[in-house]
Structure 1
Amino acid sequence: MKIRDAEIIQLSIPFTDGSSGVGLMPQQWTHLDVALLKLTTEEGVVGWGDGFAYHCVNATIAVLRDMVLPHVIGAEIDDIAAFNHLLQKRLHLHGRYGITIFAISAVDTALWDIAAKQRGVSLANLLSDAPRRSIPAYASLVRYGDPGQVAEFAADVVARGYRNVKLHEIALDCIEAGVQASGGDVRVTTDVNCNWSLDEAHRMMPEMQRLGLYWVEEPVFPPDDAETLGALQDRYGVSIASGENACTLTEFRRTIPKIDYVQPSVIKVGGVTEAAAICDAAAEQGKTVMPHSPYFGPGYWATVQLMAAKANAGLFEYFWIQPEAFIDPSIPHPVDGGIAVPDRPGIGFEPDPDVLAKYRVDG
């Protein structure tokens, strides 16, 4: 494929989640920032991607526009993984990870979308001879910080058919409330987002064992301290999950041997190329991948397709918020805790022009 043109579309979509809007992000969080990328080949085939952009949308767009796309427009690309590696190599002086990889993730996802469309198949069928037609999902609640609210939302998602629930709570009373409200036959996890000190983790992990948590996510900082994460898991017998803040297979090679669940994020890790390689590396060691996916643009669709293609991909993360609109209204939401995998060519994503026009931010 030869890329003729590229367009970056910045979106800001309001959402509600029942919380105070403070807790998961460094600032109050009320809008989904989206750095949407449209690539078009010389033959007119369009591919869509996005790079992680929550509270960093301007930076992600700047890197895409100024650093990455000059290498993409006009490029003849026969091997997407090799091209991804080339971009990383050419741009490594600007930082191996973070914003640079977020931008490369957008390009990589769009290229895979194009590649599958050119063959007239879904991405899952391009990556696998026998992809799954549906994948299990869990409800990923935000942080409420109030036991009553935690219980209310946990009970609600269980009533809707979810058998797996993730909290983002860090206080014991809130975690206990979520576990009790979910019931004994539902698996509950909590994402600590690195908020516990190591001493706090040693105090809290026995409680997590008592409560029977399915996993504890990123209990301490830094989240890529494989030795500490592995030691906590081994000492307390509670599975540890981590990886949403890691980039490329290189970083994951440190944590895959130490913890039970690895969590690549397609729009942060380096796109489909790197996420697929992480799935394969985890499979070699008998590990399950639990992708990070609290977003609703092309990264959502690509994650669904990738998980359908990879047998060791476990649960899809469905972020429990209510956006004012979905970029593609046909987005496959979970039903009774499962997602039907779209069979349209590519990743399946086609944005609604009216949504783009309404929520577009002109820089």
Structure 2
Amino acid sequence: MEERGSRITSVDVIPVGLRYTHDGPPTGFGGAQWTTLRYALIKVCTEDGLVGWGEGFGYNVLSATVQVIRDTVAPLAVGRDAANIAGLMASLKHTLHLFGRGGPTHYALSGLDIALWDLAGKRAGVPVAELLGGMQRREIPAYSSLMRMPDPAAVARACEKALSRGFNQLKLHEHTVEAVAAAREAVGEDVELMLDVNCAWTPGEAQRIMERLVRYRLKWVEEPIYPPEDFESLARLRQRVPLPLAAGENLANAWAFKAMLASGALDYLQPSVTKVGGISELRTILTLAEMHGCAVAPHSPYFGPGLLATLHLASHSPLIDQVESFGVRLETPLFGAIGLPDANGMIRIPDGPGLGADPDPDVIEACRIV
């Protein structure tokens, strides 16, 4: 039964580029040099005057995500019941599956789903975590996810600066043993180090290099093999080298995670709420992970509503013991200090209705990409 006033009247997408600085020269991922952090904000309005905010994955595919929201998702969502999240999302996923069960189509649906949960929390007057089953914690540790650096010396300097800002868990985006060695020497033995390779190696290269990395006691090695769908090679690697493996930011939906879990390839699952289908799909992935006894370390190098959604999922789920915080300093934060680590590397879970905060309209206008 439709709740009074919950019919969707508009779905708008606002591309933004948030300005930032970091400890190193200009860099980026996916073959591009980043000057801003680019996100697709989704604004969903309902008949009763409520506004929900979501985020579809952006960065190098921002324009594609924006176009799918404007041309495909918005026309299908307007007029539907925002309170029926499960029904609406199931209908849209089925209708649009011909155009991709991942990629920009699913990124757009992810943003809509997050906005619907924000609306649901606001309508109920409770945080999203309460709708998920209850807030099990009020704050959570964050690890600093550093940008890629040009050489081992720069890696060491970036790690030292991250420690000075209160972090005791750091993730590198490097490809060499020398860079990891420099990081471990800089931070000492008590700091947790993680390594994200971004699918840089073949299976043979991964085994050879990771055997040399064992001595540096990494908490996990992330996406060591290309292509990321090669679950069999990941499983063999996990058996042969005593380092925990993590992956999942490039998996499209819960069905893909089901297959990866069945392969026994991973110690940590890394779904991205702005990619995988939003809060609803990530909730399913958490259930799958629990059934397989696998930890979850969400992919969340963003600072929009997707980060707040990740925090609410982390507040609810005991499978998540830390969250990813992009190792940059925002010049234009969308939520002020909300969602950002404190001096001890902890992030407080927003406890207001819905996601707990709306984007600052002045920041949106200052950072809007026309």
> For this structure pair, what is the TM-score category when the shorter chain's length is used for normalisation?
over 0.9
TM-score by length of 2: 0.95
Q: Which amino acid aligns with 1:5?
A: S
Contact kept in structure 1, 2:101 and 2:253, CA below 8 Å: no
Whole-angstrom distance in 2 between the partners of 1:307 and 1:81: 21
Residue 287 (1) aligns with residue 291 (2): no
- Structure 1 SS opposite 2:112: helix
Report deviation, 1:78: 4.0
- Structure 2 SS opposite 1:276: helix
Residue 214 (structure 2) aligns with: 209
Whole-angstrom distance in 1 between the partners of 2:305 and 2:91: 23
Whole-angstrom distance in 2 between the partners of 1:183 and 1:242: 26
Whole-angstrom distance in 2 between the partners of 1:23 and 1:34: 15
Residue 344 (structure 1) aligns with: 352
Report deviation, 1:158: 2.2
Residue 103 (structure 1) aligns with: 108
Whole-angstrom distance in 1 between the partners of 2:135 and 2:54: 24
Residue 315 (structure 2) aligned to one of 304, 308, 316: 308
Q: Which moved more, 1:321-330 or 1:147-156?
A: 321-330
Residue 357 (1) aligns with residue 362 (2): no
Q: How many residues align?
A: 362
Residue 85 (structure 2) aligns with: 80
Residue 328 (structure 1) aligned to one of 320, 325, 335: 335
Whole-angstrom distance in 2 between the partners of 1:234 and 1:22: 34
The equivalences for 1:48-63 within 5 A come to 48-63=53-68
- Structure 1 SS opposite 2:123: helix
Q: Deviations over 1:74-93 (max 9, x none)?
A: 00244312322211110011
Q: Which amino acid aligns with 1:33?
A: R
Q: Deviations over 1:2-57 (max 9, x none)?
A: 11112211112232223333352311112111211100111011100010010111
Residue 273 (structure 1) aligns with: 280
The equivalences for 1:60-71 within 5 A come to 60-71=65-76
Whole-angstrom distance in 1 between the partners of 2:308 and 2:196: 23
Q: Which amino acid aligns with 1:318?
A: S
Residue 3 (structure 2) aligns with: none
Residue 115 (structure 1) aligns with: 120
Q: Which moved more, 1:40-49 or 1:194-203?
A: 194-203
Give the gaps of 5 or more residues in structure 2: 1-5
Whole-angstrom distance in 2 between the partners of 1:191 and 1:137: 16
Report deviation, 1:58: 1.1
Contact kept in structure 2, 1:145 and 1:174, CA below 8 Å: no
Whole-angstrom distance in 1 between the partners of 2:11 and 2:337: 24
Q: Deviations over 1:231-255 (max 9, x none)?
A: 1111111111000111210011122
Q: Which moved more, 1:292-301 or 1:306-315?
A: 306-315
Residue 148 (structure 1) aligns with: 153
Q: Deviations over 1:99-141 (max 9, x none)?
A: 1000000100000000011110001111123421111111111
Residue 200 (1) aligns with residue 208 (2): no
Residue 15 (structure 1) aligns with: 20
Residue 179 (1) aligns with residue 181 (2): no
Residue 41 (structure 1) aligns with: 46
Residue 138 (1) aligns with residue 143 (2): yes
Q: Which amino acid aligns with 2:330?
A: P
Q: Which amino acid aligns with 1:15?
A: Y
Report deviation, 1:181: 1.1
Whole-angstrom distance in 1 between the partners of 2:359 and 2:348: 19
Residue 220 (1) aligns with residue 228 (2): no
Q: Which amino acid aligns with 1:21?
A: P
Q: Which amino acid aligns with 1:193?
A: N
Give the gaps of 5 or more residues in structure 1: none
Whole-angstrom distance in 2 between the partners of 1:349 and 1:9: 17
Q: Deviations over 1:263-320 (max 9, x none)?
A: 0000011000011111111011111100000000000111011110111112100001
Relative to structure 1, is the Cα distance of residues 130 and 359 closer, same or farther in structure 2, using a 3 angstrom cutoff? closer
Whole-angstrom distance in 2 between the partners of 1:358 and 1:77: 29
Q: Which amino acid aligns with 2:358?
A: E
CA RMSD of aligned residues (A): 1.3
- Structure 1 SS opposite 2:80: coil
Whole-angstrom distance in 2 between the partners of 1:81 and 1:142: 36
Whole-angstrom distance in 1 between the partners of 2:354 and 2:101: 28
- Structure 2 SS opposite 1:92: helix
Q: Which moved more, 1:90-99 or 1:5-14?
A: 5-14
- Structure 1 SS opposite 2:274: helix
Q: Which moved more, 1:190-199 or 1:331-340?
A: 331-340
Q: Which moved more, 1:27-36 or 1:266-275?
A: 27-36
Extract structure 1 runs of 4+ deviating beyond 3 A. none
Q: Which amino acid aligns with 1:140?
A: S
TM-score by length of 1: 0.96
Amino-acid identity (%): 41
